[in-house]
Amino acid sequence: MVDMMLQSTKLMITKWDDCIKVHGRVVAEISVGNDLRGLSADVISRTCFGSSYSKGKQIFSQLRALQSLIASKNVLFGLPTSGLLSTRKQNEINSLEKEIGHLIWETIEERKKECFKEKSCEKDFLQHILQGAAMSDMGKDSSKKFIVDNCKNIYFAGHESTAVAAAWCLMLLALHPEWQDQIRKEISLVSPGGALDSHSLSKVKTV
């Protein structure tokens, strides 16, 4: 899935290049944190959920809104909140959670239709969850909750932690330019148009 990750990263790098050009190639202010969250969202949508990135963007947007709403009150995601928040805020949280669940289920239904039409489906994260649910002895409602909750977890937890890890990596590379040189040299040895995978980029893997 390295190629998918590259597609996402190239979009971000192009955006940064354009920003620097606008400022005369001298100094440009770039919101790295926000862009890395966007990159993380794009990578997760492409690699875990197939081609549903447009739907993925909506889910991430709603999750960020939900996170902002509950963070100030120290309320854990998905746990009962009665008595801790005002009725209005509680209703907002319930509405957002319901909408997120609906968007995720729409993505799942689209995947099911695609797989039925093509008689086969790429074994990404979502497909493994669907197969796991199908092979279990859970009832229909429990199976749906299992699928949606797992998807919600990878969006909610995987998204933020990946973005933070990428930001930390960039900071360490800025502090250790000799590692930047090693990585550039390693990437320059990859033949143009050649397949990239983690085995051919050992130094990148180390970072």
When pLDDT is averaged across residues 115-128 and rounded to a whole number, the result is 71
CB 138 within 8 A of CB 146: yes
Q: Which residue has the tokens 């930001």?
A: 167
Distance CA 145, CA 155 (A): 15
* 64-93 pLDDT, tens digit each: 888 777 776 555 545 555 555 567 778 888
- What pLDDT is attached to residue 149? 85
Residue 128, amino acid:
H
Percent of the chain with pLDDT over 70: 83
Residue 142: CB atoms within 10 A of its CB come to: 12
Domains with residue ranges and CATH for the chain: 2-175 (1.10.630.10)
| Cα-based angle 61, 64, 67 (whole degrees, multiple of 5) | 150
Which of the two residues, 155 and 99, has the higher pLDDT score? Answer: 99
When pLDDT is averaged across residues 137-141 and rounded to a whole number, the result is 82
- What pLDDT is attached to residue 62? 84
Instruction: Please give the DSSP secondary-structure letter assigned to residue 82.
Output: T
Q: Which residues, in sequence order, are CB contacts of 40 under 8 Å at separation 6+? A: 158, 159, 160, 162, 163, 166
* 20-42 pLDDT, tens digit each: 888 887 788 888 888 998 888 88
Which of the two residues, 62 and 55, has the higher pLDDT score? Answer: 62
